[in-house]
Structure 1
Amino acid sequence: MTKLGISVGILATVLCLSVRAQTIDIIALDQDGAQTILQAAKERAQQRSAPSAIAVVDPAGDLLSFQRMDGVRPASADLAIEKARTAARLQRSTAEIEDSIDQGRTAFVTAGIPVLRGGMPIRVNGAVVGAVGIAGLSKETDAEIANTAAAALSPSPRTGQRR
């Protein structure tokens, strides 16, 4: 009985330790954060006179928030979502991916990954918490709006607080 009791105790200790070792802390993008990103993108698009479709996704690429501004082509809705999804899942901007293809890394094309500029991961404390995708006027404008929007959750240099 004593050996059985000791064995059970050791087993319970090992199982408890391994459970603790298998957990991680995750920062999640909530609806308030998604709306902050969406609003930043919309404001920048309005400043640039560049109506856009704007998509915000979680790290898995699932849609959290979306807006299609007036005057945007219908196909831009799907493009914005796909750009955001690609940036989230690959954890890098779609501009980087497009540049890789332009430099001969054509495997991205055969993988069926949308690689148009305008997708940008959203990072908080270095971790990807989602991504934003912009489709509207031009690839350069889309990328610039996405960069601005993705930075909307960055700490302010003066206060260290979210904007």
Structure 2
Amino acid sequence: MTNKRMIKASLLALFSLGAALGVALGDANAQTPASQPSAGGLPARSPFDIPYGMPISLQNANQALQAAEAEAARHGWPEAIAVTDPSGELVAFAKMDDTQNSSPNIALRKAATAARFRRDTRTFYNGFEAGHTYSATLDPSVVASPGGYPLVIGGKIVGAIGCSGGSGDQDADICKAGADALK
């Protein structure tokens, strides 16, 4: 190989190496943002720190269920309504006539989410609407739709109520009636 060819081959190899390093460094820089996105700030205390209490009694679960069902009937909204204990296990359930077939499972999942995460399921909905989808990475069963409320008696979460069959706002209205029946 002549000197000219060796120089040409060396320059070509050096150019290829530089291009490869540039791509690698460019990719690395593209994956490392200048600043990390906020995770919601640093509140002085958790906004969802209502303590858990003893599981809801069947009598109280039925009281919440009946109040929610009466609210749904008053509006003519066919609903599935589930009441769970604090761990998200079913305690009481009603499916009104003409409720869509997917609603019973959704109502139970909304109630379980509200109970286990100690918050109204609208909180997850609002997060998704704002572009914060991280909650989907927490638990695959999280429901990010209005219509799941924790049930609080004596300042403690004893369970939750979940409603499905209408719009999110309709479901939330019905759940609120059930939760308010225990106050």
Q: Aligned equivalents of 2:107 and 2:165: distance in 1?
A: 8
Q: Aligned equivalents of 2:143 and 2:84: distance in 1?
A: 15
Give the residue type in structure 2 aligned to 1:136: G
Give the residue type in structure 2 aligned to 1:64: V
Match of 2:147 among 100, 112, 118: 118
Q: Aligned equivalents of 2:168 and 2:55: distance in 1?
A: 28
Query: Superposed, which structure 2 residues align to 1:80-159 within 5 Å?
Result: 80-111=107-138, 112=140, 113-154=142-183
Give the drift of 1:139. 0.8
Q: Aligned equivalents of 2:162 and 2:114: distance in 1?
A: 8
Q: In the TM superposition, what whole-angstrom CA distance separates every residue of 1:5-33 from its partner, at most 9, and x where no partner exists?
A: xxxxxxxxxxxxxxxxxxxx944310000
Give the drift of 1:109. 2.2
TM-score computed with the length of structure 2 as normaliser: 0.68
Give the drift of 1:127. 0.9
Match of 1:62 among 71, 89, 94: 89
Give the drift of 1:152. 0.8
State the SS of the aligned residue for 1:59. Answer: coil
Give the drift of 1:116. 1.4
User: Can you give the 5+ residue segments of structure 1 that lack an aligned partner in the other structure?
Assistant: 1-24, 155-163
User: Can you give the 5+ residue segments of structure 2 that lack an aligned partner in the other structure?
Assistant: 1-51
State the SS of the aligned residue for 1:133. Answer: strand
State the SS of the aligned residue for 1:153. Answer: coil
State the SS of the aligned residue for 2:181. Answer: helix
Give the drift of 1:148. 1.2
Moved over 2 A (4+): 25-28
Identity across matched positions, percent: 36
Number of residue pairs matched?
130
Give the residue type in structure 1 aligned to 2:126: D
TM-score computed with the length of structure 1 as normaliser: 0.76
Q: CA RMSD in A?
A: 1.4
